[in-house]
Chain A
Amino acid sequence: MPTLDLIGVSKNYGNIQALTDISLHVENKEYVCILGPSGCGKSTLIRCVAGINKPDSGGILIDGESVEQIPIEDRRIGYVFQDIALFPHMSVRDNISYGLAVRHAESTEITTVTNEMLDLINMRDRSKAYPRELSGGAQQKLAVGRAIATGSHLFLLDEPLGALDAIVRAELRYELRKLASDLGLTVIHVTHDQEEALSIADTVIVMKSGRIVEVGKPSEIYASPKNLFTANFVGETNLLEGKLLETDGSQCTVDIKGHRFKVSGFGKKVGQRVIVSIRPEYILLTPPTVVGWNGEIKQVTFLGNLNRYVVEVEGGLEMIAEVSTAEYSTGFRVGESVMVSFDDVHMLLFDYPAEGLEKEISLE
C-alpha cells in the first residue's frame, strides 16, 4: 500500500536552490500531478524520491519508513523518464522483461508477466521490434509497460507525454490515468502542462522556484486559487489592478478604473492595492449601455469552439474574453462597441504582490 511522505526536503546545487523545504503527503492509489514551469524543481523532487539524487536535508518516507539508506534499485519504484530511455539494444520484449530478469525471477514468471504487459499496452504483435522502429506514442507506452512489469505500486512519471504531438498527448493521458486506476497505482506525475494536470489528477501540487506554492483538487485550484501565481499558471486569466474601498471582513468593494465591484476577500485593509482576477470565460460581453463599462473590440480570434476577444475598455485597460461559439449569436467584430460585465462569484481578490506583478507571475 504505498503512501509517500516528504518532510522538509531541500536540495541545492552550489548556489542554486533546487528544492526548498518540500513537504507533501500522497495517499495510497492517489494520482498526484506536480505542475510547474521548467526549472521549478519538479524533476529534482521525484529524482530525490527515486534515490537518483540525494536531498541535502529532510526525510522521504515510503509507507512510513525512511528510504534514505535504500539504494535506487531497492526502492521498488516505477520510474518513467523524460527522455524515455528505452534500451536501444534490446527488443520490446526484452525491455519489458528487464526488471524481472535482473531480480532473477523464474523464466516462466518472466514470460507470463511479460505477455500480460504486452497485451496491456497492445504491443503483443511488435514484441520483436526494436525501440527505434516504434512511433513516439508506442515508445511512451513501452516505457510505461516496462516500469509496470516490475510489479511496483508507486510510480514516478517525469513528463511522460513530453515528446508527443499535442493531439496524441491529449488522448494518451486518459489511457495513462485509466491504467493507473485499473492497477491501483500510487502515481506522482510531473508536468508543465496545466490542462494535462487538471484533466487527470486527483490532486495538483503547484511548484515555483523550488517551493510548493499550492496544493488542491483540480477544480479547486482552478476556481479558487489561493495565490496569484497559481491563478495565472493553471489557466489564462485577466489580472486587473484596483484599490480596496470598503470591507466588512469578508465582502469587499473594489474600484477598478472608476467602476465598483463586490468581491469576497478576507483580511484586506481599506485603501490597499489589490489585484482582481477574472477568467476570460467569465467575462460577459453584451451590446453597450449608457451606464455600463463599455469598450471596443480590438481583436477577434476564432478558436473553433470559442471566440477570443481582446477588448479595450475606458481607461485604456485591455481584457481578454472568451465566448463559446455554441451561443447562437454571430459574435462581435473588430471595432464594435461592447459592454463588459463580470459575475462577482467568479472574481478573485489578491493582495498586490510586494515584488510587483510581473515578477510574481513570471514563468521564466
Chain B
Amino acid sequence: MPRVNFVSVTKKFGKVVALDGVSFAVSDGQYLCVLGPTGSGKTTLLKLLAGLLKPDEGTIYFDGKPVNNVEAQDRNAAYVPQQYSLFPHLTVIQNVAFGPLAKGKPASIALEAASAALDLVRLSWRAQALPNELSGGMQQRVALARGLASGAGLLLLDEPLGALDARLRLDLRHKLRDLVKQSGFTAIHVTHDQDEAMSVGDEIMILRNGKLQDYGPQRRVYRKPASIFVANMIGGASFLEGIVDTTVGETALINLRGGLTIQAPSKNLTLTAPVILALRKERIRISRDRLEMDNVFKGEIRGVRFLGNSKEYLIRISNGDIIASRQFAESEDDVFKVGQEVLVGFLESDALVFDYPAEGLRKELEVV
C-alpha cells in the first residue's frame, strides 16, 4: 500500500484554482521531487499533505487511511517551510527537540532523538546556538534535523535550498538526499530548480498552474517527456515547427520550414498534422566536415555560451531555425567560433515529436 495517496485533489482560493484534480502516489521510503514554476501549486500541495489546508475536492490517504479531517498536529507529516522555519527564540537543540516534546515524549527521550538528528547533520557542536547566529546552510540543516527528530516518517520540504547561494546548493543537494535516504523517511521535496529536482529525487513530478503534467522516474520523464512544457522544464531543448509528410514503416518524414525534412519515429503520428519537434541539446552533434547521422544539416554558428563544464552552441540552419547543441567537456578540436560553417546532426530516435499545442508554442513554453 502506498505511503501517501493523493486522489483527485482540488484546492481553490476564491476564484483561483491552486490545484486541479491532482492524483499521485508515493511509496514508503521514496523521495519524490515536485518541480514547477512559482505559482504552480507546489506549496499548496505540501500544505494539503501537512494538514495546514483542507482539500475542496478529493481525498488524501496516509497508509490507506483517509486523513482529510485529521488535524496537522496529528498527521505525522513534518513540514519544513521555505523561510522562517526555525523558532528564533529557541536554541538549536530546543528547536530540534520540539517535535518529540510536543508529542508528549519525556524530556530524556526527546533529547536523545534531538542529539541523534543533530549528529546526522553534523551540527552537534552548535547545539546551544540561536538560529540567528548560524549561516543559511546551517539553518537549513537544523530545520532538516528537526524534521527528522520528530519521528514523523513523512518529510515535506518546501524549497529547502531556496535561500542558499548557488554553489552551496550544489553541495548540499547531494548531502540532503543522502541524509534523507539514510533516515529512511519518505520525502516530498518541492522546487523550481530543475537541476535540483533531477539530483535529489527518485521520482519527479511536474506541476503547472495546478495541474499534473508528468510523473515518473527521472530517466523516463527526461527521455520521454509527456509534453513540450515538460521537455522544456527538464533539460531544455530546441523546438522546431513542422508538418508530418509521409510515414515509411517506423520512420516518419516531417517537413520543416524552408523545405528541410527530418526523420523521426512514426509512432502515433497522423499525416499532415502540425507538430513540434523537441531536440535535446546534448543529442545534437556538430562537425566541421562529416557526420554520419540520420538527420544532418548545414548551418552557421550564431552564438557560443560558456557554462563551465559545457558549452552551448546556437546554430542557424538554412531555413532560419535555431538549433542548440550542448558540448560537454570539450577537447581542443571541438571548439567552434561564431560565424563558422558547420554540420549539425542528430539521430532519428532523438527527435521527440509532439502535437502542435492548441494555444501556440510560445504560450506552451511560458514559465509562468
- Between-chain CB contacts (< 8 Å), 12 pairs: A38-B165, A165-B38, A167-B194, A195-B307, A198-B308, A199-B305, A234-B308, A281-B309, A282-B329, A305-B280, A306-B282, A364-B137
Q: Which 9 A-B pairs have the closest CB atoms?
A: A281-B329, A193-B166, A305-B282, A324-B328, A364-B135, A166-B193, A192-B165, A165-B192, A304-B235
8 Å CB interface, B199-216 against A = 199
State in angstroms the CA–CA spacing of A82 and B357 once bound together.
36
Contacts of A183 in B (CB 8 A): none
Instruction: Give A residues with C-beta under 8 Å from B.
Output: 37-38, 135-137, 165-168, 170-171, 174, 192-196, 198-199, 218-219, 222, 233-236, 279-282, 301-306, 308, 322, 324-326, 363-364
Q: Report whether B306 and A199 are in contact in the complex, using a CB–CB cutoff of 8 Å.
A: yes
CB of B149 within 8 A of chain A?
A: no
Which residue of A is nearest B311, CB measured? A219
Stretch at the interface among B4-12, B124-132, B167-175, B238-246: B167-175
Contacts of A233 in B (CB 8 A): 167
Which residue of A is nearest B218, CB measured? A302
- Distance in angstroms from A310 CB to nearest chain B CB is 8
- Distance in angstroms from B226 CB to nearest chain A CB is 15
Beyond A168-B37, A281-B328, A302-B198, list 7 extra A-B contacts (CB 8 Å).
A38-B165, A137-B368, A193-B166, A194-B167, A234-B308, A302-B222, A305-B235
Contacts of B233 in A (CB 8 A): 167
Q: Report whether B165 and A136 are in contact in the complex, using a CB–CB cutoff of 8 Å.
A: no
Contacts of B165 in A (CB 8 A): 37-38, 192-193, 363
Instruction: Give B residues with C-beta under 8 Å from A.
Output: 37-38, 135-138, 165-168, 170-171, 174, 192-196, 198-199, 218-219, 222, 232-236, 280-283, 285, 305-310, 326, 328-329, 367-368
Tell me the total A-B contact number using a CB cutoff of 8 A: 111
State in angstroms the CA–CA spacing of A308 and B307 once bound together.
17
Q: Report whether A306 and B328 are in contact in the complex, using a CB–CB cutoff of 8 Å.
A: yes
State in angstroms the CA–CA spacing of A364 and B282 once bound together.
34
Contacts of B168 in A (CB 8 A): 37, 363-364
- Distance in angstroms from B113 CB to nearest chain A CB is 26
Most chain A Cβ neighbours within 10 Å, of B235, B280, B305: B305
Q: Report whether B282 and A325 are in contact in the complex, using a CB–CB cutoff of 8 Å.
A: yes
Which residue of B is nearest A40, CB measured? B165
State in angstroms the CA–CA spacing of A199 and B304 once bound together.
9
State in angstroms the CA–CA spacing of A282 and B310 once bound together.
11
State in angstroms the CA–CA spacing of A290 and B316 once bound together.
47
Known: A165-B38, A192-B167, A302-B222. A235 touches B198 (CB 8 A): no
State in angstroms the CA–CA spacing of A357 and B138 once bound together.
19
Q: Report whether A166 and B308 are in contact in the complex, using a CB–CB cutoff of 8 Å.
A: no
Contacts of B235 in A (CB 8 A): 304-305
Q: Report whether A302 and B219 are in contact in the complex, using a CB–CB cutoff of 8 Å.
A: yes
